[in-house]
Structure 1
Amino acid sequence: MTAPIVRRLAELRALTARWRAEGARIGVVPTMGALHAGHLSLVEAAKAGADRVIVTIFVNPRQFNNPDDLANYPRTEGSDAAKLAPFAVDAIYVPAPDQVYPEGFATTVSVSGVSEGLCGAHRPGHFDGVATVVTKLLLQTQADRAYFGEKDFQQLMVVRRLVRDLGIPVEIVGCPTVREPDGLALSSRNVRLGHTARAKAPALFAALTRAVKEMSEGAPVGQALGEARAAVLAGGYSDVEYLEFRSAATLAPLQALSEPARLLVAAHLDGVRLIDNVPAVPQRAAAFAPS
């Protein structure tokens, strides 16, 4: 069943008011469209954790620092709706720009700390755009739970911080990265990879997993990172934008695997910027983790 497509905020609010009067718990999956299996895994999680589910599709101009990226971002509303049909979501919110940024809009949500470094250092203004639109969408949908993928781990941390700092009454649910059988993290950007580049792309995940294994076995962080960077470049990537080892709780840089951590990377292949990350857990913590 194809869900109703809602384009006006007033219509959305009428729906959510009715659902709230029924005592329903509302879940939202914010997206920019071009849906793939990673997005659909978030929808599946939302269906399991909420009574009513809204998927938002909005290509947010405020998080693009490159006008060409914004112009080239795929708009696939029809196929997105078809992909969502089997999940029987309750609404697809596809707002016109003026429903998110009305005339004279002059407010920006800026999250310091976790937005700095990593993607924040290379994409000026990106996380301000993310934080602003997510704040708007959480307030507009009146969601009780919002679902985000862990592939963009820094974005997830930014969203968690803004919700906590602003006191927005929504639970942020992080969901595991979905991968191709060869390990490549699913991304809307993957379709831009040529055949040869696509064959090389799994080198990124392979280098990350090897580095985490080495660190868990006692290798120095600097050595493991150096070897991982070399492996990514040897695998065919033209540039490693960053490759950093950070705390999973705060995103502070780490010099040793002393607490739950993330190894995060951004690299360029065939002119396409790809990001990924993998978790790392100290051996003692891993030994006592529930099975």
Structure 2
Amino acid sequence: MKIISNPHELNDYVKNLNKTIGFIPTMGALHEGHISLIKEARKNNEFVVVSIFVNPTQFSKDEDLDKYPRKDEADKKICELSGVDVLFFPNANDIYTKDEVSLQAPNVRGYVLEGYTRPTHFNGVLTVVNKLLNIVNPTRAYFGKKDAQQLNLISLMVKQLFMNVEIVAVDTKRDSDGLALSSRNIYLSKDERKQALAIPTSLNLASSMISKGIKDTKEIKEKMLEHLKLLEVFYVEILDREFNQVKEVELGNSIILVEARVGETRLLDNIWL
């Protein structure tokens, strides 16, 4: 496995490959969810690139940039064992300058749900993903469905900016207790982790209601919120896959999304129906 930190060096390196490239952008602290993305990329491409970059522009001043988990040596070993060909490991000065061109998230979709409580977040996400895609120039880029709003906005950016890359959505990986895998899970105490299980069980409750023929989104949301009452809930929403409000669940075109805080840890989860 080759490790590269300079964007121009990586861009020159992949330019001469003449191979299909699968790309997985990450912020490190890799877990089984990331490994599943790497496996998907490995399966469908001749060459695999992973980036590890904790992107400062998607954190607001009062968020946990300095505390965000970093496991550089472990991450390198995971990438090597997973068959990654190139690990891109830049620092902030490699990616950003003092006078930046940046992308603006769409006025509606970028400022609802997670974007409502973190209004600058998706500007930073779209800017850095755009930069990374331009550096790597992959055939396909892989993102987890757990971050559904991020996935939707990145797909929108690629479509609207006529970018020549296929965005591949990969199913959420869960721990044995049902909690969606996240780098932030390490922040949870033992008791907080037990409390956090209300999130996936609320989604299971919704799925059970839908399987019994209940499609009314208001009724489903009320039951979920009752189940989540001990947590600090930012939102429970049921939307179509273009992130429009719907009154009834449409199988094959709906997502149920939850964001809640457990202790000091913000957790996201969802199910695609």
Length-normalised TM-score, structure 1: 0.89
Cα offset for 1:215? 3.1
Cα RMSD (Å): 1.4
Structure 1 match to 2:266 = 273
Structure 2 match to 1:135 = 130
2:14 to 2, 13, 16: 16
Structure 1 match to 2:250 = 258
Structure 2 match to 1:120 = 115
Distance in 1 of aligned mates of 2:246 and 2:212 = 16
- The answer to whether the 8 Å contact 1:212/1:263 transfers is no
SS of 2:199's partner is helix
**Where has structure 1 moved over 6 Å in runs of 4 or more?**
none
- Are 1:231 and 2:223 counterparts? no
Cα offset for 1:112? 3.6
- The answer to whether the 8 Å contact 2:155/2:167 transfers is yes
Distance in 1 of aligned mates of 2:130 and 2:250 = 33
Structure 1 match to 2:205 = 210
Distance in 1 of aligned mates of 2:44 and 2:264 = 38
- Are 1:185 and 2:183 counterparts? no
The alignment covers a number of residue pairs equal to 271
Structure 2: segments with no counterpart, 5+ residues: none
Report Cα offsets for 1:229-274 as digits up to 9, x if no partner. 11112xx42x1110000002x1001110135200001011122111
1:66-77 paired onto structure 2 within 5 Å: 66-77=61-72
- The answer to whether the 8 Å contact 1:131/1:159 transfers is yes
- The answer to whether the 8 Å contact 2:238/2:255 transfers is yes
SS of 1:180's partner is coil
Cα offset for 1:67? 4.1
Distance in 2 of aligned mates of 1:258 and 1:201 = 27
Structure 1 match to 2:57 = 62
Report Cα offsets for 1:34-58 as digits up to 9, x if no partner. 1111011101111111111110011
User: Structure 1 counterpart of 2:221, which letter?
Assistant: L
Structure 2 match to 1:78 = 73
Structure 1: segments with no counterpart, 5+ residues: 281-291
**Aligned-residue identity in percent:** 35
User: Structure 2 counterpart of 1:17, which letter?
Assistant: K
Structure 1 match to 2:157 = 162
Length-normalised TM-score, structure 2: 0.95
Cα offset for 1:279? 1.7
